[in-house]
Amino acid sequence: MALRKSRGSWMRRNVIAMTEPKSLNSEQYRTIRTNIEFASVDRQMKSVMITSACPGEGKSTTAANLAVVFAQQGKKVLLIDADLRKPTVHTAFFLENTVGLTSVLLKKSSMEQAVQASNEKHLDVLTSGPIPPNPAELLSSKWMKELADEASVAYDMVIFDTPPILAVADAQILGNVADGSVLVISSGKTEKEQAAKAKEALETCKSKLLGAIMNGKKLSKYSEYGYYGNKDNFMQNK
pLDDT digits (tens, 9 = 90+) for 44-88: 789 999 999 887 888 999 999 999 999 999 999 999 999 999 999
Residue ranges making up the domain that contains 184: 2-236
pLDDT value of residue 230: 39
φ, ψ of residue 6 in degrees (nearest 5): -65, -40
How much is the average pLDDT of 210-214?
Answer: 89
Least confident window among 32-41, 47-56, 111-120, 219-228: 219-228
The CATH number given to whatever domain includes residue 166 is: 3.40.50.300
Kindly report, residue by residue over 104-116, the tens digit of the pLDDT.
999 999 999 999 9
Percent residues over pLDDT 70 in the chain: 83
φ, ψ of residue 104 in degrees (nearest 5): -70, -45
Does the structure show a pLDDT above 80 at 227?
no
pLDDT value of residue 8: 46
In contact, 227 and 28? CB cutoff 8 Å: yes
Burial class from Cβ neighbours inside 10 Å (0-12, 13-18, 19+) for residue 236 reads exposed
Number of domains within the chain: 1
- Secondary structure E strands in the chain: 47-52, 77-81, 116-117, 123-126, 157-161, 180-186, 208-215, 232-236
Does the structure show a pLDDT above 70 at 7?
no
pLDDT band at 229 (very low <50, low <70, confident <90, very high): very low
How much is the average pLDDT of 179-189?
Answer: 85
Judged by DSSP in three states, 102 sits in helix
Give every CB contact of residue 206 below 8 A, 6+ residues apart in sequence.
Answer: 175, 176
Report the alpha-carbon distance of residue 174 to residue 78 in Å, rounded: 16
Mean of pLDDT over the chain: 84
- Which CA distances in Å does 155 have to 33, 76, 92, 115, 123? 16, 5, 21, 12, 10
In contact, 184 and 215? CB cutoff 8 Å: yes
φ, ψ of residue 161 in degrees (nearest 5): -95, 120
Can you name the residues that pair with 49 across neighbouring β-strands?
160, 181
